[in-house]
Amino acid sequence: MLLSTSTAVACPVCGHDAADRKGFVVSLEDNAAYVDGMTIQLGGKQAELMFVLAENSPRAVTRETLMGELYIHYADEPDQSIIGVFVCALRRKLAGTSYMIMTVWGKGYRLCRRDEAWRFPIGYRHHEPHRGGEGSGL
């Protein structure tokens, strides 16, 4: 598996601090991702979404699956467009790392290393994070 995920901060294999580990670790306890030796703070739902993407990598995950995972304990789930909002925020947070979230048109989203993105067929799309600007609200 390309990516590692963990609900604990320490590596379950070697016991080292996840922040010192190479690769990609998501901690649901800390609401953080440890990527390329950096700590990226995440909101609760952002951490859950990142965890699901990492767990399923290299497969794409549908919006429906993401909604089911993020809002499993909610009687009323929000509109599916919230997934796009979370993905946009996560892309911004991953911008300085070797990982990215790709859109797989008609299928969902996929987490991968930037240097491996070229290996995927045309249906896969990479979106750079929005940089803000006039009228963007950022």
Domain boundaries, the chain: 18-126
Question: Which has more pLDDT, 85 or 77?
Answer: 85
| Cβ 4 vs Cβ 25: under 8 Å | yes
Q: CB pairs under 8 A, 24+ apart, for 32-36? A: 33/93, 35/94, 35/97, 35/98, 35/99, 36/97, 36/98, 36/99
**pLDDT score of 119:** 64
Asked whether the predicted pLDDT for residue 99 surpasses 80, the reply is yes
Domain 18-126, CATH among 1.10.10.10, 1.20.1260.10, 3.30.70.100, 1.10.3470.10: 1.10.10.10
| pTM, entire model | 0.71
